[in-house]
Amino acid sequence: MKRASSLIFCLSLFFGAVCAEEAQTFDRLTFYAAPKAPCEKAKWADWPRVLGPHDDSRTEENELLKQWPESGLKAVWEVKTGEGYTSPIISGDFCVLFHALENKETVECLHRETGRRFWIKDYPIEYQDRYGFGNGPRSSPVIANGVVVTLGVTSLLHAFDLKTGAELWKHDLRKDYHVPQDFFGAGSSPLILDGKVIVNVGGKAEAFDGFEDKQDRARKLATKGVSVAAFDLKTGALSWKVEDEWGASYASPVPAKLHGQTKVLIYAGGESDPAIGGLLCIDPSTGTVHDRFPWRDEEYIQATGSSPVVIAEKNRAFITTCYPKNKPIGGVMVEYDADFKAKEVWHSTKIACHWMTPLYEDGHLYAIDGERENNSRLVCVNADTGVEIWTKNIEWEDAAFGEAQGRSKPVRLSILRASLLKADGAVLCLGETGSLHWLKLTPQGCEELTRTQLFYALNTWSLPALSHGLLYVHQQAESLDRKSGTRVICYDLRPE
C-alpha cells in the first residue's frame, strides 16, 4: 500500500510538472519559491466554489503548518490584480482568478503551484460603483465538470472550458431579465448542481432605461421578474426560472439536504424601497419554490452578503444580516417540515453578520457579529437556542506597523470583520487588515494558536481558498505601508 501511494504521488508530480510547463510566465507574476513536498499522510481537496468543496467554509485538508516562523509565512507566488472582491478558486492543477483590469473583466487560469498562466479571457464592462468601492466583480468563479462559470458585476454570465479557456456560452442577464445595478452591482456567486448553473438573477418586469421620479423607481424595483434561473452547464440553455419580486442579494445559493432530498437555499433580496427579501427553498431539478421565508427589515439601504448555513441532521438553516445599521434584525434559525415549509426556531440580534458566512460546529455557530469595523466581534452562539455563549475581541500591539507609520509607539490592531475557514482541526481566521491566525474555537472559548501579518491593507473581505496545502489570499486594496498593490498571493501551509 505504501509503495502504491508513493507511485501515485510520483505520477501526480510528473503530470503536474507537465501541466506546469504548458503554462507561461507573464509580467504581473512574481514567483518566489516552490512549495514544500507534501506529507504522505496529508489529505488534499479542491476549492471549486467560494465557500469551499462543501459550501460551508471548511475542507478536509490536514497535516497543515500550525506553528509559523517569526519571519512570516513563505510565499510561493503572487499575481498583481485589478479591482474586485472575489476569492480564488482551485480545481486540480488550475487556479482561477476573476478581477477587472483597465475596464475589462478578466478571467485568468493559472497553475496552482507556480502561478504561471494557462489562459486569459477578458471583455469590456461599463460599471461605476455608486459608493466609491472598486469597479470590479463581486461574484467568485465556480468550477465543475471541466467548466468555469463567472458572473460579472454587470450581470454578464459566462462559461469557459477550464483547460483551454474557450468560451462555451454567455448571457447578458441585465439585458435579458432587466436586472438593476443594485447597490454594488451583481455579486451572488453561482451554484453548479446536477449539470445546472443556478443564479440569483434579481430581474424585474420592466427595463431600467429611465425613471419619472423616485416613486417610479421604487415601483419598478418592486415588480416581479426572474429572481432565480437555472441554465444548462454544457449549452447555457434556460432550464427553469423563478419569478418573484425578491431581487438578487450578495449571498450565494447553497445546496441543502433536507429530509433526505437535495434542495437549494437562496437568501435573496436586492435593492428595493421598502426592502424585501428572505430565504427561498427551491427544487433544483424543476425550479419549484417550496417556501418563501421573509427575513429583511424595511430599511432601504441593505446589502445581504452572508450565505445560508445548513444543518442537515436537523433539517435546519440559519441566515443572518447586519441591517438595519442602528438596530439589526440579526439572524434566524428555521426548521423545514416534510413539505419543506420553514418555521422559525429562534432569532437573535447577537449574531448579525455583514458578509462572512458563519461556521457551524458541534451544535454551535461561530461568526463575526457587527456591521462596522468598530463594533465587530467574534461570537459563539448555541445553534439550538440562539443563546450567546461567549464573545471575544482579538487584538494585539504591532510595533512594526507603528514604525512604518512613523509612530514611536506600537499600533493596536484587530481582526475586525474577519473570515473564518475550518481545516485540520482548527480555524484559519483572515483579519480585515491582512492578519492570519490559527484559532481553536470551542463552546469554552477562543484560543489563538499562532498569528502572522501577511500584509497591511484594508478591505480584506473575501474568504481565502485552501487547497493542496496551499493558501490563496486576495489582497483587495493597496497596502497601508504602500509596499504592495492589489494582488493574489499563494502561501505554503505544508509542514516541514
The class (CATH top level) of 119-468 is: mainly beta
Tell whether the model's pLDDT for residue 403 goes beyond 80: no
Residues 4-12 have a mean pLDDT of 41
Rounded distance between C-alpha atoms, residue 290 and residue 116, angstroms: 46
Residues 428-435 have a mean pLDDT of 98
Q: What is the pTM of this model?
A: 0.94
pLDDT value for 163? 97
Residues 406-417 have a mean pLDDT of 91
pLDDT value for 470? 98
The residue among 214 and 243 whose pLDDT is bigger is 243
Residue with cell 502572522: 452
92-148 confidence digits (pLDDT tens): 999 999 999 999 999 999 999 999 999 999 999 999 998 889 899 999 999 999 999
Q: How far from 318 is each of 60, 187, 230, 264, CA to CA, in Å? A: 23, 20, 24, 14
pLDDT value for 217? 81
Tell whether the model's pLDDT for residue 433 goes beyond 90: yes
Tell whether the model's pLDDT for residue 412 goes beyond 80: yes
pLDDT value for 2? 38
381-399 confidence digits (pLDDT tens): 999 999 999 999 999 999 8
Tell whether the model's pLDDT for residue 21 goes beyond 90: no
Rounded distance between C-alpha atoms, residue 220 and residue 344, angstroms: 31
**Local structure of 20: helix, strand or coil:** helix
Q: Which of 438, 433, 496 is CA-nearest to residue 466?
A: 438
Choice among 19-23, 216-220, 443-447 with the minimum mean pLDDT: 19-23
pLDDT value for 19? 62
Percent of the chain with pLDDT over 90: 85
Tell whether the model's pLDDT for residue 18 goes beyond 80: no
Q: Which residues contact 13 (CB under 8 A, 6 or more apart)?
A: none
pLDDT value for 154? 97
The DSSP secondary structure of 439-493, one letter per residue, reads EEEETTEEEEEEEEE---BS---SPPEEETTEEEEEE-S-BTTSS--SEEEEEE-
Residue 4 — pLDDT band, cuts 50, 70, 90?
A: very low
Residue 6 — pLDDT band, cuts 50, 70, 90?
A: very low
Residue 474 — pLDDT band, cuts 50, 70, 90?
A: very high
**Domain parsing of the chain, residue ranges:** 119-468
Residues 463-471 have a mean pLDDT of 98
pLDDT value for 20? 66
Tell whether the model's pLDDT for residue 311 goes beyond 50: yes
Percent of the chain with pLDDT over 70: 96
pLDDT value for 393? 96
Query: 273-282: string of b/e by CB count within 10 Å (b at 16+)?
Result: bebbbbbbbb
Tell whether the model's pLDDT for residue 9 goes beyond 50: no
All cell numbers assigned to 252: 450565494
Q: Which residues contact 139 (CB under 8 A, 6 or more apart)?
A: 86, 98, 150, 151, 152, 153, 186, 187, 188, 189, 190
335-355 confidence digits (pLDDT tens): 999 999 999 999 999 999 999
Tell whether the model's pLDDT for residue 8 goes beyond 60: no
- If phi > 0 it is left, if psi is from -120 to 50 it is alpha, else beta; for residue 132 that is left
All cell numbers assigned to 403: 514604525
pLDDT value for 1? 38
261-298 confidence digits (pLDDT tens): 999 999 999 999 999 999 999 999 999 999 999 999 99
192-213 confidence digits (pLDDT tens): 999 999 999 999 998 877 777 8
Tell whether the model's pLDDT for residue 13 goes beyond 50: no
